[in-house]
Amino acid sequence: MRSPDTRTRPHPGDVWISRPPYLFLAHILAVDDHCDPAVVSYVLHDEDGFVLEQVSEATLDRDWWHSFRPMERRYG
């Protein structure tokens, strides 16, 4: 299994998608890089767009990148 790209940082307004086997969308609300380790707050949606929960200050660690990846927008 490939190591996740931990250099890509979430930013407020971004949408990140969960890695398989689940399909969740994390709408990023805030990122605090000033604390150690950094934390991220987001709203988690299921594949139908329903809100599952709002997560405040989840640790932005290796587990984050194993669970989520940036969602690539495609047009056309």
User: What pLDDT digit, counting tens, does each position of 14-68 carry?
Assistant: 999 999 888 999 999 999 989 888 999 999 999 999 999 999 999 998 898 899 9
Cβ atoms 4, 69 nearer than 8 A: yes
Global confidence as pTM: 0.84
Residue 55 has phi, psi (to 5 degrees) of: -105, 125
**Residue 4 is which amino acid?**
P
Task: Delimit the domains of the chain by residue range.
Answer: 15-70
Ramachandran assignment for 21, one of left (phi > 0), alpha (psi -120 to 50 degrees), beta (any other): alpha
Give pLDDT, residue 16. 95
Cβ atoms 58, 37 nearer than 8 A: no
